[in-house]
Structures are given as C-alpha cells and as structure tokens.
Amino acid sequence: MLLFKHKNVCANDFLRKKEKKMQKNQMSFLKNFTTVSDARTARVSSWDQSGRNKDYWLVEAGKTVTITDIDGPGCINHIWVTSFCREILGPSIQHPVLGSSVAPVTEMENAEGVNWEINDPDYYRKVLIKMTWDDFDGPSVLTPLGDFFCIGHSMPASFSSLPFNVSSRPCEERTFGGTAAMNCYFPMPFNKRAKIEIINENERPLGLFFHVDYELYHEETKNIAYFQAAWRRDMPCAGWGNDLCVNSPEVNSVPNLDGKDNFQMLDVKGRGHYVGCNLSVLHFQGSWWGEGDDMICIDDEEVPSINGTGAEDYFNHAWGMQRNQSPYNGTIIHDADTNGYQVSYRFHLTDPIHFKKHIQISMEHGHANHLSDDWACTAYWYQMAPVTEVTIQPVEERLVLKRTFNTPKPKKEAEMTLEMNEAYRARNERMKVFEQNKREQIRLNGSRTAPSEEGNRKLARKVKNQFDQERR
C-alpha cells in the first residue's frame, strides 16, 4: 500500500513538473522580460548608408542579393519586408531622373494618370527567399517570397497571427501583386552563421525594403533546432472525380485509409517538430473544396496515427471556413469573396507535432481525393540537422492561375485623324526616351545594392567584435 502511494506521489510530482515546464514554454516570451539577458541586439536593413532617403535596395532581374550575412551564435527574432515590382505600360508624367531622388511613392499606384504602371501580378511567386544556417551546404528555407509570409496566390490581405502578420493597403488588398508590409516572428537560432538571400527570378527589377532584427550570444545553443520552411504546389491535384458532387453518397462510399494520393504538405526525415503551415487553394468546381481530411504519419508509420475530420477542422474552423483570424489559425482570403481563391493558416505553437525519424503530413483534396483543384502549401518546422537540400519548383510552375476576361473589341474601328496619329507618334518617341532614362536609373540604383550588402556585413562584424570584446 505504501509502495502504491509512493508511486502515485512520484507520478503526481512528474505530472506537476511537466505541467510547469509546458506553462514555462508557452509563456517564455513574456517571462523573458523578468530577467536580464547577456545578449546583444542588432539589426541589418536596407537603410540608405549615405544618410539620404533611398532606403530600399533594387534587385535587378535575374539577380540574387544577400540581405543578411551574420556570424553567431545568435538568433533572428524578427523579419520585416515590403517590396514593389512594377510593369510600365506608358511613359510617366514625372521625369524618371528627377523622380528617382524621392521615395518611390509613385511606384505604388497610378495617381490620377500621373503614371501608368501596374503591379507585376506574379512577382510574389517569381521572387524567392532563401535561408542557410551555420556551415550546412543546402538551404533550410527556400520558398516564394509572398508564400513565406502567408501571401497566397500572390494576393496580399491584412491579417494577424503570432508568427506572421501582413498589412496591406485597402485599395490593393486581394489584388495580384498588391503592395504590403510583411512580418515574421518565428525565432531562427544559429551557432556559426545566418545567411538570408533574395533571388529575383523575374524579368523586372524588384524594389526591397527590409529589417532583420537579431540577438548575439556568447555561448552556442546546445541541441539546436533549426528553423525550416518548404513550399510545394499541385496544379491541379490528381483528382479522379471532379465532376462528382462533394459529399454525395457516391463519393463518400470510397475509402481512403493510407492517404497515399493526398496532397503532400511536408515529407522530411530527421528529428524535430512541425509548427504549422499556410495553405492556398483555388477551387474549380464551385461547391466546397475542404471536405478532405488531414493525415499525419510519424516516424516509421505506413498508416497515419493522427487523422483529422476535414480541412476546415484542421484549421480549427467548422461547417466550412469563416472570415476570422486568431493567433494560431484563421482565414486570410475567403473563397466566397474572391471567386474560388482561399488562403488559410494553422500554427502549432502550443501543440507542436514531434518526430524522431520522419514526418509526413498530407491532406485529401476532396474526400478520397476526388477533386482536381490548385493547391499550394508552405510548411514550417524545426529540425536538429537541416535537411540536405530544400528544392523549389521552377518559376513557370509557380505562377498564379488567374480568372480573367478578354477586353472586347469595338464593333467599328475609329477613323484616325492627323492629330490622333500624331498623339501615337509623340507617345512612342517619348516612350523611347523614358525607357532609356528608366534603364539608367535602374542601373544606378542597382549599383548601390552591392556596396550596401558589404556595408551590412561590415556593420554586423563590427557589432559582433564589440560584443566579443565585452567578454574578454
């Protein structure tokens, strides 16, 4: 009896300790404020190192820039990015040389005919963000810039969660290529080196404003779990019955227990924990896209041990997706508002999914995978040793599918006068001069980027040396 009682006491002590540990982990970001840390806070950014006001970098077409290259040990705590990428349809009223001396406010929209430019509708998918930790060869993060920050379908929309938030101008929300401020708060620890690159696979230059806020430590992090992110897309998913009604008895009679034909959200080997995803779906059928279940296989499982009850349930909604957001889950874009485009997120911040050897996370596209929709997912996880190589689909397979219409032609061709023809001739001549001046300004702005990269490296080394000196 005494032995039994002792066992109960030990078990209760163990449970209490475990509960306290869980509470500490959940509230650590607040409890950190109650103690002084032996750390050095620093930042690298796109600030104009000449002291003027050109606080952005220009990444020319086909080029790669390094926005962060810092020595550790340390941890990146926050990344802020905003960007612009414009397609010029006609010569602006503003002179390209004089206009280059001010902040790129006219780059955002056509202000009552002052300029005739549009947002490149695909640049959030054409531009990549790449992160490499320590001395590992392959990247731990390689995703489209927009999708990394939960901008699905290249359509920004304002939302707020704990690890990510986006602030989009109201006039550009839910438009392809609209401008937005993007924030990431996932901690990204490193012991030796942290390198973040922006790869512009676009045919147009990219304007980039950014902050990367980080801490330096004197001691390396033991048993470090590195931040990881990967993106994949199926367009369309290989459905077998897209012309069958969702939730019909014919579809619901088909079993799916192993999930082998599911949309694969993540499939990696190693040891770590999965912390969430964002999912972008373009639904073609016009009914309901989210009837499929999530299925998770851990380690050596061939049949999933974690099974869900529907896509909306995985994202912690019910009876379809609602137009709401929370710190851990929510809807960014609702398909009812955008003719079939849906963007959702779910972050496992208090309930990470642990694995020791292997994890495979998938979701049915319609029950038993009968629907053929456009699915794209960015998965986030932490792992003790980064995966050997994170790959990305080529740019042509990343482009957003758009529901568009062709502008109708007039029934009768207009009779051109001498003045009308002269207007076209004058426009064409001015366009030639405008494009020449614009190219020169792009070259000049682009030439500032490489020295700024080196300037950030020098500043990071200076901060690191000062911090190391404090310990000696």
Contacts of 152 (CB under 8 A, 6+ apart): 146, 278, 279, 280, 332, 333, 341, 343, 376
- The CATH code for residues 35-85+120-224 is 2.60.120.1390
Give pLDDT, residue 101: 60
- Given a cut of 60, whether residue 11 has pLDDT beyond it is no
The Cα 376–Cα 374 span in angstroms is 7
Lowest mean pLDDT among 69-83, 122-136, 323-337, 402-416: 402-416
Give pLDDT, residue 15: 44
The Cα 370–Cα 237 span in angstroms is 9
- Given a cut of 50, whether residue 294 has pLDDT beyond it is yes
Q: What is the mean pLDDT of residues 152-175?
A: 95
Percent of the chain with pLDDT over 70: 89
pLDDT in tens, 201-234: 999 999 999 999 999 999 999 999 999 999 999 9
- Given a cut of 70, whether residue 264 has pLDDT beyond it is yes
Give pLDDT, residue 97: 66
Nearest Cα neighbor of 165 from 347, 432, 313, 307 is 347
Lowest mean pLDDT among 38-52, 107-121, 313-327: 107-121
Give pLDDT, residue 6: 45
Residue that wins the pLDDT comparison between 105 and 394 = 394
The Cα 104–Cα 279 span in angstroms is 32
Contact 70, 194 (CB under 8 A): yes
Give pLDDT, residue 5: 43
Nearest Cα neighbor of 182 from 197, 198, 165, 194 is 165
Give pLDDT, residue 276: 98
Give the residue extent of every domain in the chain: 35-85+120-224, 225-383
Give pLDDT, residue 103: 58
- Given a cut of 50, whether residue 123 has pLDDT beyond it is yes
Q: Helices H, strands E: what count in the chain?
A: 9, 24
Give pLDDT, residue 408: 87
Q: DSSP readout, 266-315?
A: EEEESSEEEEEEEEEEE-SSSS-S--PPEEEEETT-SS-SEE-S-HHHHT
Q: What is the mean pLDDT of residues 357-370?
A: 97
Q: In which band, very low, low, confident or very high, does the pLDDT at 287 lie, cut at 50, 70 and 90?
A: very high
Question: What average pLDDT is seen over the chain?
Answer: 90
**Strands (DSSP E) found in 137-271:** 141-144, 159-160, 164-168, 180-184, 188-190, 193-200, 206-217, 226-234, 263-269
Q: In which band, very low, low, confident or very high, does the pLDDT at 153 lie, cut at 50, 70 and 90?
A: very high
* Choices 2.60.120.260, 2.60.120.1390, 2.40.170.20, 2.60.120.700: CATH for 225-383: 2.60.120.1390
Give pLDDT, residue 22: 43
- Given a cut of 70, whether residue 9 has pLDDT beyond it is no
Residue that wins the pLDDT comparison between 402 and 114 = 402
